[in-house]
Structure formats: C-alpha cells, structure tokens
C-alpha cells in the first residue's frame, strides 16, 4: 500500500495553486475557456505523469485541475508548477479531499497503489484511468473495444507493449488462426521510471493476459527488455506469430491498416518490419515520442499516455453528447 508523507489526510488538501492555473469569472465559476470540458487530475508526477500533463493541456475536452504527488521537490511537480498548474503533495488524499470530485483521474503511480486509489475514489463516480499494470480495471484497447469505455469506471491501459502490439495481434487473429504469440518489448533504461521498475513482473503478466484476452490465443509469451544502450534505443515491440493459415495477404494489409488507425492519436507509431514465411509472421514496430517533455526514444511513455488521453477524450465526447453539449 502507498504511504503518505506525513500525518493523516486533512479536511482540505494542501494544494499549491499557480497563477491563473484555472480561469474563473468574478463569481469564481469556470470561465468559457473551460466550459464543456471534463475536470481531470493526474495522480503521480514521475516520467509518465509529467508527459501526461502536457498532452492533457492540449486537449479540447479535458481541463487539468490538479497534479498530485508526494514531494513538492520532485522534478515532476516542479515542472507542473512551472507550467502554471495547481499541484498537491498528499497523493490520493489530495484528490479525495478536493472540494469537487474530478470527472477523470489518471493514475500514473504503481500497480500496488492502484487498488487503494480505486477503492478511495469509487464513491465519487470518477472515471479512473489506470496507467499501471495492476490488472484491476477493465482492459481497454481503444481501436478494439472503444465501446466499453463508458460502461466502466476503472479502465486499465494494460501496458505500453500491450497498446503497441494488441491492435495488430487482434486484427491478425480475427482473420487467421494463430497458435502461438510472442511479444518482445524493448525500452531504453532512461525511459523506464521507478514505478515501472517496481512492477516488472506485473508488466509481463498483464501484457500476457491482455494478449490472450484480445486474441483468444492461449499460448502467449511476453518479454520485456530494458536496454542500457547508448545512444538510447527507440521503443520497439517485436511480435512473432505461428499458425498454418498465416500468409502475406491479409497479414501485411491488416498491419498497415491498424498502424494508420493508431497514428490518429500516436503519430510516432511506425511499422519497421512485416514478413510472413512458412506459417510464421514477424512484425516489428517502433514508437517515437512527440518530444514534449520526454526524449524521442521514450515512445513507451508516449504511446500509453497518448492512449490514456484518447480514452479520456472518448469518454468526454460520449458524456457531453449525452448531456446535449455540442462537441467538435
């Protein structure tokens, strides 16, 4: 379980508000700049959390109200404050003690802590988007099961390797019988934060389970390589599929179609190899970061954050349309 820095949660969280972070009118109500957008918070200010803040700030549907961590001296919270965002240092207690519940919370902490966060936020009706490999929430791959987003309140983003591979694997296994799948993910050591390192076993187990669930293939193996190479290796996922029915057509067209769909919200996604020989298909993809707050080689962070923001925007569009609010 996660630990607080000090004491018990106070009735009101210690939130440091940056100048003009949340535009309001004279009566304290949200200005037109934030009207029609859902209020969101980022829980966790590590490598994933600070890149998330930048992506959320560009969204037409999401209004970032708070970045919560545990130590105001951490680089992530310092950067958030420099961006003009309200920050808090009491972790999950900062969220549950807020005056108004958030519409969406992004959990960018670790798998062990997510259970506590889900429990504490369950009564608020908040949509919780889990970027940890906890396996607790409903797994979502937006190009595959986007329709599930609105039906659940705790959504798992699986893993960076899962988001880069499962859309392709799902498409292939729908078209052809596959007996075995292997997914090898390689990420630069500089792009792998403390939270991920604490959850390496969970990462592999969650990725394997998600591949099985979305493809129906029972024999699945997931491998994670953390590369110390210099210069740092660009995030890469290599997929091997075995099946007597596998042929160049339709495998290659399907892979290219899925890649094009993914680039709608993860524009650094690129197919590097796609071959099929004697019932064996090999597909390798790389993801380059957009380079906002993280280096271009850190595509592992970029893809899971891009997917998480996309999922939140899908939820926002659904909710706003149900409320009769016109969307873009």
**What is the rounded distance in angstroms from the CA atom of residue 188 to the CA atom of residue 194?**
13
pLDDT of residue 258: 98
Find residue 280's DSSP bridge partners.
Answer: 242, 277
pLDDT score for 2: 33
Question: How far apart are alpha carbons 222 and 204 in whole angstroms?
Answer: 6
Cα–Cα dist 35/61, whole Å = 9
Kindly name the residue from 127, 160, 178, 262 that is annotated as catalytic: 160
Class of residue 82 by CB neighbours under 10 A (exposed 0-12, middle 13-18, buried 19+): exposed
Same topology, domains 15-132 and 160-299? Answer is no
Cβ neighbours of residue 53 under 8 Å, at least 6 residues apart? 42, 64, 67, 79, 80, 83, 85, 293
For 57, list phi and psi in degrees, rounded to 5. -65, -20
Domain 15-132 has CATH 3.40.50.720: yes
Measuring CA to CA, which residue among 284, 182, 194, 273 is closest to residue 223? 182
pLDDT values of the chain reduced to their tens digit, one per residue, 328 residues: 333 333 333 344 555 544 333 333 334 333 333 567 999 999 999 889 989 999 999 999 999 999 999 888 888 899 999 989 999 999 999 999 888 999 999 999 999 999 999 999 999 999 999 999 999 999 999 999 999 999 999 999 999 999 999 999 999 999 999 999 999 999 999 999 887 888 899 999 999 999 999 999 999 999 999 999 999 999 999 999 999 999 999 999 999 999 999 999 999 999 999 999 999 999 999 999 986 789 999 999 999 999 999 999 999 999 878 777 766 6
Would you state the pLDDT for residue 328? Answer: 64
Question: What's the confidence (pLDDT) of residue 224?
Answer: 97
Query: Model-level pTM?
Result: 0.88
Q: What DSSP line would sit under 16-82, residue for residue?
A: EPPTTSS-B-TTS-B-TTTTT-EEEEEE--SHHHHHHHHHHHT-SSEEEEEEE-S-TTSHHHHHHHH
The Cα 261–Cα 170 span in angstroms is 13
Would you call 160 a catalytic residue per the annotation? yes
The residue extents of the domains of the chain are: 15-132, 160-299
Indicate the SS3 state at residue 207: helix
Q: How far is CA 219 from the centre of its chain?
A: 26
Residue 222: count of CB within 10 angstroms of its CB: 23
Q: Which residue, chain included where needed, has tokens 């994933």?
A: 48
For the 160-299 domain, the top CATH level (class) is alpha beta
Buried/exposed 98-109: b ≥16 CB within 10 Å, e otherwise: beeebbbbbbbb
Question: Which pLDDT value is given to residue 323?
Answer: 73
């Amino acid at each position: 379980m996660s630990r607080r820095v000090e004491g018990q949660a106070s009735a009101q969280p210690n939130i440091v508000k940056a100048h003009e972070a949340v535009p309001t009118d004279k009566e304290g109500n949200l200005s037109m700049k934030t009207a029609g957008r859902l209020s969101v918070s980022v829980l966790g200010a590590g490598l994933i959390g600070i890149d998330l803040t930048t992506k959320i700030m560009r969204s037409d549907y999401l209004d970032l109200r708070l970045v919560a961590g545990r130590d105001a001296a951490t680089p992530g919270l310092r950067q958030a404050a420099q961006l003009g965002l309200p920050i808090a240092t009491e972790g999950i207690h900062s969220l549950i003690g807020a005056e108004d519940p958030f519409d969406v919370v992004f959990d960018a902490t670790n798998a062990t802590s997510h259970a506590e966060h889900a429990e504490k936020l369950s009564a608020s009706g908040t949509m919780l988007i889990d970027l940890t490999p906890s396996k607790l929430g409903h797994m979502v791959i937006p190009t595959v099961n986007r329709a599930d987003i609105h039906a659940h309140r705790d959504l798992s983003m699986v893993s960076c390797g899962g988001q880069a591979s499962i859309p392709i694997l799902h498409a292939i296994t729908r078209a052809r019988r596959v007996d075995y799948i292997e997914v090898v993910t390689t990420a630069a050591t500089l792009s792998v934060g403390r939270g991920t390192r604490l959850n390496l076993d969970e990462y592999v187990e969650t990725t394997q389970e998600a591949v099985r669930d979305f493809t129906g293939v029972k024999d699945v193996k997931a491998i994670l390589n953390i590369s110390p190479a210099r210069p740092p290796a660009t995030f890469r996922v290599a997929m091997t599929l075995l099946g007597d029915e596998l042929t160049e057509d339709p495998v290659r067209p399907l892979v290219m179609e899925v890649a094009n769909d993914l680039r709608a919200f993860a524009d650094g996604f690129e197919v590097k190899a796609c071959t099929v020989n004697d019932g064996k298909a090999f597909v390798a993809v790389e993801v380059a970061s957009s380079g906002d707050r993280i280096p271009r080689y850190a595509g592992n962070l970029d893809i899971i954050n891009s997917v998480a923001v996309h999922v939140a925007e899908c939820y926002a569009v659904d909710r706003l349309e149900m409320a009769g609010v016109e969307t873009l």
